[in-house]
A and B are shown apart, each in its own frame.
Chain A
Amino acid sequence: MEAIVEIEEKKKTVAGSESVLKCLLEENVDTIFGYPGGAIMPVYDSLYKYENKLNHVLTRHEQGAVHAAQGYARSSGKVGVCFATSGPGATNLITGIADAQIDSTPLVCITGQVASHLLGSDAFQETDIIGISMPVTKWNFQVTSAEEIPYAISRAFYIAASGRPGPVLIDITKNAQQELMEFDYKPCEKIRSYQPYPDIDGNKIIEASKLINEAKKPLVLVGQGVTLSGAENEFKAFIQKAGLPVASTLLGLSALSTKHPLYVGFTGMHGNYGPNLKTNECDLLIAVGMRFDDRVTGDVKTYAKQAKVIHIELDPAEIDKNVKTNVAINADAKQALKLLTPLVDERSHEKWLKEFSACDDAENEKVKSEALFPNKGELKMAEVIHRISQVTEGKSIVVTDVGQHQMVASRYYEFDQKKSNITSGGLGTMGFCLPAATGAKLGAPKRQVIAIIGDGGFQMTVQELGTIMQYDIDVKILILNNSFLGMVRQWQELFFERRYSFTEMVNPDFVALAKSYNISAQKVTERKELNTAIDGWLSTEGPALLEVIVEKEENVFPMVPAGSSVSDVRLE
């Protein structure tokens, strides 16, 4: 009897902490973003031996780690992974986890936890991260013994990446990291209570095709669902065959080239004039992989009431949540489009498309010409973005933060390659950009990554310059400095009678700051210097920062004021 026990014990050769890393290797993880601390030290100690198998990036804050993992996930299409210790380390992840949840980004976050016998006792750095993260994760799980590690991690990757992706958190107590176990890994392939891919209802596909074939004024809205399902080609084939004009949501940008003749622009609060206005004039709205966020719909009571609505969406909870549909296709975008395209007629809607051009003309006259080609006055955000777009031929990955610069970048960067738009859409998290850009570069090392940030948001995660320096991560950072929390100031100007309550900022010398991190940096204040500065900045080897001083009180238009109808889109 004793002999058997001994043999059993002998098979237990791997510490829980090491098995965490073995599991990650099994899941083809190559990059981890993290920050150590007491409760996760055994994992970090194991990492010491795995340095040449797993690339761990030490960020300067756990929020930096989680946003970097998000950027990595979105540029690579893989699951982003981050590590943090218990207590404050874990709570510092929450903003990024919430961001990933609302923007459907697959993440596996691994946190250390106090030893299981201390759980619930207010031990040093104990926090109930399972409870705290419950509402903002797709799934979470606490591991209290080493044996559970492969189970938990295999499920975590399966759940994070399948269906509508999202963040998962695995909390591992310190004793579980220290115990020995027998390592055996099987990837998770099925969970009976979780069915990520619904059976497609063929009748719905037929009904949808009928509506499309009958429509005279159809409009397609493309969302991130197309990017997430890798359906860019299927989407293009679909809209080309049926001749459907396409508008993009914020997260849908880059799913279709902005240069495509059927692309009519960006929709939503600061989207283009045509897509907003025509939403309330079309006879059929075809939403693909988007969720009718209120920044897209404005007032839902007056949204597309005249139109029939087709909604292709993987998450059943999004169907009929905000906008009632006539035909709901609960499916992954790629699968649905593959079935739908053969059933739609080859058509073109020239006259209807011309109506969009007419809207463009109005927008050009009232907004774009002045924003893109001013010949006097201070520099404008739009002309900076326009130049960058031209120099990079729309082929870079553009990571934006939150505010006016984000909307301007989304409006004027002419995306010409898929998977190129990384921004915080649903949560609108200032501070997202700089760390997300570092992660994006590591997730797509061959591509140029441009981080476009406001002076406010830059200072929310500015510490990540340290990460960029230490690992020499080639991101090109643009600060559009208006010395204001610009987007809030715009609202104050338009809706609060110019009471600029706490939105003006005294800023540090950003160039000197970047240089102190050994990052080459330059500042531009004059129009005549702009083009040369951009060219120099973009062709710098390694990370480089460009600060452009822009007009302080510029407003972003068009605008659908919050709660207004999309028909009331304002050009000025």
Chain B
Amino acid sequence: MTMEQEAKEYTLSVLTEDKPGLLNRLTIIFSRRKININSLNVSSTEVAGVSRYTLVVTETKEHLEKVVKQIRKLVDVLGAFVYDEDQIFYQEIALYKVAARAFEQNGMIEKLVRNNGARIIALDKHHIIIEKTGTKHETHELYLALEPYGIWEFVRSGRVAISKSQRKTEAFIKELENSRSNKLSIKDF
């Protein structure tokens, strides 16, 4: 097996027109091939009317390239890009709900929060809500640290990612508007 064929975590960034139903159009391309989406985020971009979908999937590069080409075929998709971890800056937000009693018992939790670069965003007599922004690995670390105190609820957001490439979204879209050429081809990964 070559490196190419090993399943790895990839981040997909898909620029689309802001149209209803697009999420469905995108996800059926994954579900058709029974690919699980690890996380998903939809947001606006700096260009009015353009949305960005950020998806994280674990797949082989080869398989993913086929999926991406099918995504690019969607009429309302402006561009689709696949990134390795080292090609992007990315963050996820995690929220943890922990019993207030655990907090009162000793100062440990407060220390944990501080050491992990997290913060307490709410506190009442029943529970505390802790927020941590970071990579999945970092938010998981804090999860493990808090686990002995009893986690009532845990939630992690989809990934938001910004590529290290020099491409500007607006310029990319201008290029599409001005040319008859196709969406970025696979060699532009």
Is B180's CB under 8 angstroms from A317's CB? no
Collect the chain B residues with CB atoms within 8 Å of residue A195's CB: 176, 179-183
Contacting residue for B69 out of A134, A138, A317, CB 8 A: A317
With A134-B28, A193-B176, A199-B180 as given contacts, are A330 and B185 in contact (CB-CB < 8 Å)? yes
Is B185's CB under 8 angstroms from A317's CB? no
Contacting residue for B72 out of A138, A317, A320, A321, CB 8 A: A317
Measured in the bound complex, the distance between the Cα atoms of B179 and A193 in whole Å is 11
Measured in the bound complex, the distance between the Cα atoms of B19 and A134 in whole Å is 14
Measured in the bound complex, the distance between the Cα atoms of B75 and A159 in whole Å is 8
Tally of A-B Cβ pairs under 8 angstroms: 60
Count of chain B residues near A, Cβ 8 A: 27
Q: Which of A134, A191, A196, A317 has the most CB of B within 10 A?
A: A317
Nearest 4 pairs between A and B by C-beta?
A198-B182, A317-B69, A199-B181, A195-B182
Collect the chain A residues with CB atoms within 8 Å of residue B66's CB: 317, 320-321
Measured in the bound complex, the distance between the Cα atoms of B70 and A131 in whole Å is 18
- A270-307 contacts to B, CB under 8 A, are none
Measured in the bound complex, the distance between the Cα atoms of B25 and A414 in whole Å is 42
Collect the chain B residues with CB atoms within 8 Å of residue A196's CB: 182
Measured in the bound complex, the distance between the Cα atoms of B179 and A138 in whole Å is 22
How many chain A residues sit at the interface, stated as a range, is 20 to 34
Please name 16 pairs of A and B residues whose Cβ atoms are closer than 8 Å in the assembled complex, sorted by A. Answer: A130-B21, A134-B21, A134-B24, A134-B28, A138-B75, A194-B75, A197-B180, A198-B185, A199-B180, A316-B69, A316-B72, A316-B73, A316-B186, A321-B66, A321-B69, A330-B185
Q: Is A202 an interface residue (CB 8 A)?
A: no
Residue of A nearest to B66 (CB): A321
Q: Is B46 an interface residue (CB 8 A)?
A: no
Residue of A nearest to B175 (CB): A192
CB distance from A406 to the nearest CB of B (A): 27
Over the window 158-189 of chain B, the binary record of Cβ atoms lying under 8 Å from chain A Cβ atoms (1 yes, 0 no) is: 00000000000000010011011111011000
Collect the chain B residues with CB atoms within 8 Å of residue A194's CB: 75-76
Measured in the bound complex, the distance between the Cα atoms of B69 and A321 in whole Å is 10
Over the window 68-93 of chain B, the binary record of Cβ atoms lying under 8 Å from chain A Cβ atoms (1 yes, 0 no) is: 01101101111000000000000000
Collect the chain B residues with CB atoms within 8 Å of residue A320's CB: 65-66
Is A317's CB under 8 angstroms from B73's CB? yes
Is A135's CB under 8 angstroms from B32's CB? yes
CB distance from A354 to the nearest CB of B (A): 39
Collect the chain B residues with CB atoms within 8 Å of residue A316's CB: 69, 72-73, 182, 185-186
Chain A interfacial positions (CB closer than 8 Å to B): 130-131, 134-135, 138-139, 159, 191-199, 315-317, 319-321, 330
CB distance from B45 to the nearest CB of A (A): 13
With A134-B21, A195-B182, A198-B182 as given contacts, are A317 and B176 in contact (CB-CB < 8 Å)? no
With A134-B25, A317-B70 as given contacts, are A192 and B75 in contact (CB-CB < 8 Å)? no
Residue of A nearest to B76 (CB): A193
Collect the chain A residues with CB atoms within 8 Å of residue B181's CB: 195, 198-199
Q: Is B16 an interface residue (CB 8 A)?
A: yes
Measured in the bound complex, the distance between the Cα atoms of B78 and A199 in whole Å is 16
Measured in the bound complex, the distance between the Cα atoms of B67 and A320 in whole Å is 12
Collect the chain A residues with CB atoms within 8 Å of residue B17's CB: 193
Collect the chain B residues with CB atoms within 8 Å of residue A131's CB: 24
Collect the chain B residues with CB atoms within 8 Å of residue A138's CB: 75
Measured in the bound complex, the distance between the Cα atoms of B74 and A159 in whole Å is 11
Is B75's CB under 8 angstroms from A191's CB? yes
CB distance from B15 to the nearest CB of A (A): 9
CB distance from B74 to the nearest CB of A (A): 8
CB distance from B172 to the nearest CB of A (A): 11
With A135-B28, A198-B182, A330-B185 as given contacts, are A192 and B72 in contact (CB-CB < 8 Å)? no
Residue of B nearest to A195 (CB): B182
Given contacts A316-B185, A320-B66, 8 further A-B contacts (CB under 8 A): A138-B75, A192-B177, A193-B77, A193-B78, A199-B179, A199-B182, A317-B72, A320-B65
Collect the chain A residues with CB atoms within 8 Å of residue B70's CB: 317
- B106-157 contacts to A, CB under 8 A, are none
CB distance from A317 to the nearest CB of B (A): 4
Residue of B nearest to A130 (CB): B21
Measured in the bound complex, the distance between the Cα atoms of B4 and A92 in whole Å is 43
CB distance from B183 to the nearest CB of A (A): 6
CB distance from A74 to the nearest CB of B (A): 22
Collect the chain B residues with CB atoms within 8 Å of residue A197's CB: 180, 182
